[in-house]
Amino acid sequence: MADIIEFKTDRLIARQWRDEDAEAFAQMNADPRVMQYFPACLSRDKSDAAFEAMRSIITEQGWGFWAIEEQATQRFIGFVGLNIPSPELPFSPCTEIGWRLAHEFWGKGYATEAAQGALRCGFTQLNLAEIVSFTSIHNQPSQAVMRRLGMLQETENFQHPKVLLGHELREHCLYRLSKARWAVNAKA
């Protein structure tokens, strides 16, 4: 068990998951628009398992993929946060930043806003030297978030080991952000 880190941005709250988030989380994971760049939408069982896993990680280590709430409405809008990904990735060990928002909350700057809060947490409270992010080469909206955060794309893509050989989502791009670069951008 760790002290749980939570934070606010201008319009959002990043917090530990609550039981009542599970329903909206499952709806988001069943939406083909949201899951376009994943191999499949999630069944309710798989969504609930992911929910429990993310909540447990935050309970154990104090941070992770946080549930994101819109302050004005107190609605759950998705998740954004930090995670230690699979050790078999070619650039592991590392800490990644990631996001998934329900479709109705796209186009408002929410992913970037919450991610800026997560980066601040990663670099100042967790004292990470670098945060990475990766996605399918086809996922332009996610790469746009990475660029808005000031992350820099590696020249070489990689094949995600958990996506089947030959699958169109297997080729991934990798973006990196050092604490030094973040600090310069955060001050500007």
Ligand X SMILES: CC(C)(COP(=O)(O)OP(=O)(O)OC[C@H]1O[C@@H](n2cnc3c(N)ncnc32)[C@H](O)[C@@H]1OP(=O)(O)O)[C@@H](O)C(=O)NCCC(=O)NCCS
Which residue ranges make up the site for ligand X (CB under 6 A)?
A: 34, 37, 98-101, 106-112, 135, 139, 141-142, 144-145
Provide the residue type at 164 as one letter.
L
Kind and range of the H or E run holding 51: helix 44-61
Decide whether 107 or 161 has the Cβ nearer to ligand X: 107
Decide whether 59 or 171 has the Cβ nearer to ligand X: 171
Provide the residue type at 63 as one letter.
W
Decide whether 58 or 145 has the Cβ nearer to ligand X: 145
In Å, how far from its chain's centre is CA 96?
Answer: 8
Q: What is the smallest separation between the CB atom of 26 and ligand X, expressed in angstroms?
A: 15
Q: What is the smallest separation between the CB atom of 33 and ligand X, expressed in angstroms?
A: 8
Q: What is the smallest separation between the CB atom of 100 and ligand X, expressed in angstroms?
A: 4
Backbone φ and ψ for 158, nearest 5 degrees, come out as: -140, 160
The strand ranges marked E within 94-188 are 96-101, 130-136, 152-153, 158-159, 171-178
Using CA atoms, how far residue 22 sits from 30, 44, 73, 76, 111, in Å, is 12, 9, 17, 10, 19
Decide whether 17 or 79 has the Cβ nearer to ligand X: 79
Q: What is the smallest separation between the CB atom of 178 and ligand X, expressed in angstroms?
A: 20
Q: Which residue is nearest to ligand X (CB)?
A: 109
Decide whether 64 or 98 has the Cβ nearer to ligand X: 98
Decide whether 39 or 107 has the Cβ nearer to ligand X: 107
Identify whether the C-beta of residue 81 lies closer than 8 Å to the C-beta of residue 98: yes
Q: What is the smallest separation between the CB atom of 68 and ligand X, expressed in angstroms?
A: 10
Q: CA 50, CA 25: separation in Å to the nearest integer?
A: 9
Q: What is the smallest separation between the CB atom of 140 and ligand X, expressed in angstroms?
A: 9
Q: CA 176, CA 153: separation in Å to the nearest integer?
A: 6
Closest CA to 174 of 148, 187, 161, 156: 156
